[in-house]
Amino acid sequence: MQPYTDFSTVFQEGYTFQYDIPYEGLQNVTISVHTLGELVLTSGKVTACDPLMDVEPRRYFVQTVEPGRYPVIVSVATFMPRQDKRLACTMLRISESSPVRWEHAIWHDTPPLKDNQMCYYGVDSATGCFMDVDAAQAIQAISTKTIGREEFNATMSNELLQNCIYADYPNTRWAILQIEEFVNNLVHEYYPDVDWSDVDINNPTKANLIAFTSGWGDGGYPSFWGYDASNQLVSLVTDFGIFAEA
């Protein structure tokens, strides 16, 4: 399987092209590129998921990365005249070297895929992320206790979130803490549908997660490993598929 998106252009600051959105017409698209922070990889086993709905420490990519700190970069597409911005792709940059080929990122426990099948993660809260398996394990430990509405309100200091989030995420302590952390750290200067947050999980390993909005919203999204001309691993990119082969 190949990416939906042309990664060679979508991470070029100021790159422009035209894209025809079904039922909305031809759009002028301009790309902007932003560094969100550094992802701390403690085990080197990387996972990508919806951090509010589907954190599963047993699911991680077959390919591993040397433990360390790596920048997470996003590509944001501005659509005109639609007057909209969307996060197109996210990259975990492992090396400064340029990728020349892409390989579908597969979960370590995935059975052999047939032609045109893809390995992806599901999004149900319009949010994706990168994290180390150690971070996922810490989150799972936080999530073991369910809480009621009274404790929810005491935990969630943001009154707006008290009123609108509980019905959607009534049982998971981690979801509550993560939502507030995410909302309090959102990057609002870009556009309401393009937000991200570097979340400290407060666990002994120091592993964090970097969360971000997911393209047009909910769906299933694949990731791809990038390799340079020397066949060295240089990046991991999640493709939110907002346009294909642009």
pLDDT above 70 covers a percentage of the chain that reads: 77
Dmax over CA atoms of the chain, in Å, equals 57
- Compute the chain's Rg from CA coordinates: 18
> Where is pLDDT greater, at 6 or 182?
6
pLDDT at 163 over 90: no
Instruction: Point out the least confidently predicted range of 28-42, 53-67, 94-108.
Output: 53-67
104-161 pLDDT per residue, tens: 999 988 777 777 777 889 998 788 999 999 988 888 776 555 555 565 555 555 443 4
Return d(Cα 7, Cα 91) in angstroms, integer: 10
What pLDDT was estimated at residue 2? 82
Q: What is the mean pLDDT of residues 183-198?
A: 61
Q: Where are the beta strands (DSSP E) in the chain?
A: 16-21, 25-41, 46-49, 68-80, 84-93, 101-104, 120-123, 127-132, 196-200, 208-213, 219-227, 233-239
What pLDDT was estimated at residue 154? 56
Return d(Cα 63, Cα 139) in angstroms, integer: 22
What pLDDT was estimated at residue 176? 52
47-69 pLDDT per residue, tens: 999 887 778 888 899 999 999 99
- What's the mean pLDDT when you consider all of the chain? 82
> Where is pLDDT greater, at 43 or 165?
43
Structure tokens at 135: 């971070």
What pLDDT was estimated at residue 162? 45
pLDDT at 220 over 50: yes
With bands split at pLDDT 50, 70 and 90, how would you rate the model's confidence at 165?
Answer: very low
DSSP state letters, 171-229: S-HHHHHHHHHHHHT--TTTBTTB-EEEEE---TT--EEEEEE-TTSSEEEEEEEEE-T
Return d(Cα 4, Cα 104) in angstroms, integer: 11
Structure tokens at 223: 């990731």
Burial class from Cβ neighbours inside 10 Å (0-12, 13-18, 19+) for residue 211 reads: buried
Of 33, 63, 115, give the one whose Cα is nearest residue 226. Answer: 63
